[in-house]
Structure 1
Amino acid sequence: MTDAHLARPRSDRVKSAPRALLHSLRPVARWLFRRRYDVRVHGAGHVPTSGPVIFASNHVGVIDGPLLAIFAPRPVHVLTKMEMFRGPLGWFLWRSGQVPLDRYNPDPRAVKTCIRALREGRTVGIYPEGSRGAGDLERFHRGAAYLALVSGAPVVPVTTLGSREPGGTSGSLPTGGAAVDIVFGETYRVDATPWPRTREQVEKASLLLREHMLVQLDLARASTGRDLPGPLPPTDVDPDPATGVTDEGAP
Structure 2
Amino acid sequence: MSTDRPASAGQAITADQIKRWGPTWSRRVGWCLAHGVWNTRVVGAERMPRTGRLLVAANHTGIIDGPLLHGVIPRESHIIIKEEMFSGIIGFLMRNAGQIPVDRRNGRAALQTALTLLNEDRLVGVFPEGTRGSGDVTQTKAGIAWLAVRSGAPVLPVAILGTRPAGKKPGHIPGFRGRLTVEFGTPFQAVDPGVGVGRAAVTEAMGTIQEQLSTHVYGASERHGIPLPRSTEI
TM over 0.5: same fold? Answer: yes
2:181 corresponds in structure 1 to 181
The percentage of counterpart residues that share the same residue type is: 34
In structure 1, how many angstroms separate the alpha carbons of the residues matched to 2:29 and 2:86?
Answer: 22
Matched, 1:140 2:140: yes
Would you say the 8 A contact 1:68–1:76 is kept in 2? no
Deviations 1:41-91 (A, max 9, x none): 111111111100100010000000001111111121110001111122112
- Cα distance in 2 between the residues matched to 1:210 and 1:123: 19
Secondary structure, in 3 states, of the residue corresponding to 1:15? Answer: helix
1:161 aligned onto 2:158 = no
**How big is the shift at 1:194?**
9.0
Distance 1:192 1:22, change over 3 A: farther
1:226 & 1:201 partners in 2: Cα distance?
Answer: 34
1:87 corresponds in structure 2 to 88
3-state DSSP of counterpart to 2:80: strand
Deviations 1:5-49 (A, max 9, x none): xxxxxxxx7316213231123334423442321111111111111
- CA RMSD between the two structures: 2.1
Partner in structure 2 of residue 6 of structure 1? none
Unpaired segments of 5 or more residues in structure 2?
1-13
2:68 matches 1:67: yes
Q: Is 1:216 paired with 2:216? A: yes
Per-residue deviation at 1:224? 1.7
The answer to whether the 8 A contact 1:16-1:113 is kept is no
Secondary structure of the residue aligned to 2:15 is coil
Q: Which runs of 4+ in 1 moved over 6 A?
A: none
Query: 5 Å matches for 1:189-228?
Result: 189-190=189-190, 193=193, 197-228=197-228
In the TM superposition, 1:83-122 aligns within 5 A as 83-105=84-106, 107-122=107-122
Amino acid at match of 1:55: V
SS at match of 2:173: coil
| Gapped regions of structure 1 (runs ≥ 5) | 1-12, 238-251
SS for the counterpart of 1:159 is strand
Q: TM-score, normalised by structure 1?
A: 0.81
Q: Is the 8 A contact 2:191 2:205 kept in 1?
A: no
Moved more, 85-94 or 115-124: 85-94
Residues 48 and 187, structure 2, Cα contact 8 Å, conserved in 1:
yes
What is the 5 A alignment of 1:8-87? 14-15=15-16, 17-87=18-88
* Contact 1:17/1:117 (<8 A) preserved: no
Letter in 2 for 1:59: H
Cα distance 1:14–1:163, how it changes in 2: closer, same or farther (>3 A)? Answer: same
Q: CA deviation at 1:171?
A: 1.2
> Match of 2:6?
none
Residue of structure 1 equivalent to 2:131: 131
CA distance in 2, matches of 1:91, 1:195: 41
Comparing 202-211 and 189-198, the one that deviates more: 189-198
Does the residue aligned with 1:60 lie in a helix, a strand or coil?
A: coil
Q: Which residue of 2 aligns with 1:241?
A: none
Q: State the aligned residue count.
A: 221
* Aligned-partner residue type, residue 131 of structure 1: T
Q: Match of 2:230?
A: 230
**Aligned match of 1:10:** none
Deviates more, 1:30-39 or 1:122-131: 30-39
CA–CA separation in structure 2 for the residues paired with 1:196 and 1:186: 24
**Deviates further, 33-42 or 63-72:** 33-42
Deviations 1:127-156 (A, max 9, x none): 110100100002211211111111111100
2:108 partner amino acid:
P
Retained in 1: the 8 A contact 2:191–2:204?
no
C-alpha contact 2:33 2:71 (8 A) present in aligned 1? no
